[in-house]
Structure 1
């Protein structure tokens, strides 16, 4: 706890020194670039799983700002109508390549945070970026599936074993906690593998926990603000949804970068002792 004021002070210094707002703007562009290839893959995959597009939309709606849902739903409708196995393959390739640009940019950012040079070859860096992209994709699918199938499994166990209502309440809490834990682990892997620095895995968790908690809270708060106070459509017309989506990506990128900066600050502090 005594390190918190120091970490906050260092993050504030690095905010301008490492140009975190500018870096987040770059990342938000890559996030937008990879969004629809990712949707192609995710929603085509949904067609081969026992989960409906409405359930996927319900989970996205919990976090996505309101103005963005119209854009997402329109593309989902088009993509679901074009579902086939060929599209699945194209979606995999397109989403991996496009989304890996964002991870590749993060690798450069975290190298700057750790004040280290990138000594890995282009192919090594790209391979790591693609692996991390797949991991991020898997955690997204898991976050979508756990609440749905966790509820079904819990209700089955509840009825089959004749357990009390208390079990069902605990189970419902655990399936949401499981999604959060998986998100933290994947973010920790991102913070561990992205920089060209030998970082102990345990040192990747402070930033991962910060990013996971802040991303969920900020996403919910921003969605509430847009839903109740921010009328972007009045100012930007049909572009309102895109503007909101970019702002959401921008805020998310800042949180992810700050998580990496926190890990770098704590790591450098431990190395200096």
Structure 2
């Protein structure tokens, strides 16, 4: 118990020293900038697929606070009904540029956590940021489409392979688990590639598990709070949806960066322990 308390104290001290909350604010800003280009890209892509508009709305409302969902849904109708291939390119370019700036903020945060300088060139750093951004986009698209198309995919597999009826029930649960696993994998890649320090999967798995679980729990709790208790529209008026979105991104940034801090602290404690054993 005392060991766990000491770990939490050290973690909080590192978070304050590395200005995790300030970096999370930067991250939320870049997340917000990249949201609408990404929404433009994703919803335009969905417009080419046989997906009912109401399914998109329901999915957004399930995961986002009501005011945020309203803000996003206001633009979905037009984009889904107008299939414009040019919007795909515009949305993708805008998303890559804005989101890669956010990844750069994460890279700076992780370098601070590991107490290393960023000596990679601008080109290499930007390429890493863009690759991670593309990976995150692919993962988000998969995580977005699987819950919506999951039932149809299960029915197709059921009929094609002649599986038992129990498969459909298992699949309906499994498709949500797959989304969580996919989110975990992209965090794993982020924690390995973003810092300017050599780490392996074993070094970053704990932080990725922490961030995956906490992000899902906090998102659900925050959505419940905003929908049942909080009234941001009364305070901020028409900007209520944007404010809720910023807070949501800010909390998400804290969780992601804290996962990196946990990994860095565990690695530091492991090195310290090994050194002490050698001395003794």
* TM over 0.5, shorter chain: yes
Name 1:203's counterpart in structure 2: 203
Question: Following TM superposition, by how much is the alpha carbon of 1:60 offset from its aligned partner in structure 2, in angstroms?
Answer: 2.1
Question: Following TM superposition, by how much is the alpha carbon of 1:75 offset from its aligned partner in structure 2, in angstroms?
Answer: 2.2
Q: Does 1:163 align with 2:164?
A: yes
Change (3 A) 1:169 1:118: same
8 Å contact from structure 1 (residues 46, 52) kept in 2: no
Give me the whole-angstrom Cα distance separating, in 2, the residues matched to 1:41 and 1:199.
Answer: 33
Q: Does 1:128 align with 2:105?
A: no
8 Å contact from structure 2 (residues 110, 195) kept in 1: yes
Note the 1:128-207 alignment, pairs <5 A: 128-158=128-158, 161=162, 163-164=164-165, 166-207=166-207
Name 2:36's counterpart in structure 1: 36
Unaligned runs of 5+ residues in structure 1 are none
Give me the whole-angstrom Cα distance separating, in 2, the residues matched to 1:65 and 1:7.
Answer: 33
Q: SS of 1:34's equivalent?
A: helix
Question: Following TM superposition, by how much is the alpha carbon of 1:213 offset from its aligned partner in structure 2, in angstroms?
Answer: 0.8
Give me the whole-angstrom Cα distance separating, in 2, the residues matched to 1:48 and 1:2.
Answer: 56
Q: SS of 1:49's equivalent?
A: coil
Q: Does 1:255 align with 2:252?
A: no
Q: SS of 2:7's equivalent?
A: helix
Give me the whole-angstrom Cα distance separating, in 2, the residues matched to 1:262 and 1:207.
Answer: 6
Give me the whole-angstrom Cα distance separating, in 1, the residues matched to 2:158 and 2:149.
Answer: 14
Give me the whole-angstrom Cα distance separating, in 2, the residues matched to 1:173 and 1:81.
Answer: 31
Deviations 1:52-108 (A, max 9, x none): 343233222222111111110112234335531111111111110111110011101
Give me the whole-angstrom Cα distance separating, in 1, the residues matched to 2:204 and 2:138.
Answer: 19
Q: SS of 1:116's equivalent?
A: coil
Change (3 A) 1:146 1:4: farther
Question: Following TM superposition, by how much is the alpha carbon of 1:3 offset from its aligned partner in structure 2, in angstroms?
Answer: 6.0
Give me the whole-angstrom Cα distance separating, in 1, the residues matched to 2:97 and 2:195.
Answer: 19
In the alignment of these two chains, the number of paired residues is 272
8 Å contact from structure 2 (residues 47, 79) kept in 1: no
Question: Following TM superposition, by how much is the alpha carbon of 1:2 offset from its aligned partner in structure 2, in angstroms?
Answer: 8.6
Name 1:112's counterpart in structure 2: 112
Name 1:230's counterpart in structure 2: 230
8 Å contact from structure 1 (residues 189, 204) kept in 2: no
Deviations 1:110-165 (A, max 9, x none): 0000000111100000001011111111111111111233212323444563623x
Name 1:79's counterpart in structure 2: 79
TM-score, normalization: structure 1? 0.93
Question: Following TM superposition, by how much is the alpha carbon of 1:12 offset from its aligned partner in structure 2, in angstroms?
Answer: 1.2
Question: Following TM superposition, by how much is the alpha carbon of 1:256 offset from its aligned partner in structure 2, in angstroms?
Answer: 0.7
Question: Following TM superposition, by how much is the alpha carbon of 1:237 offset from its aligned partner in structure 2, in angstroms?
Answer: 1.0
Say what the alpha-carbon RMSD is for the aligned residues.
Answer: 1.8
Name 2:277's counterpart in structure 1: none
8 Å contact from structure 1 (residues 7, 262) kept in 2: no
Name 1:101's counterpart in structure 2: 101
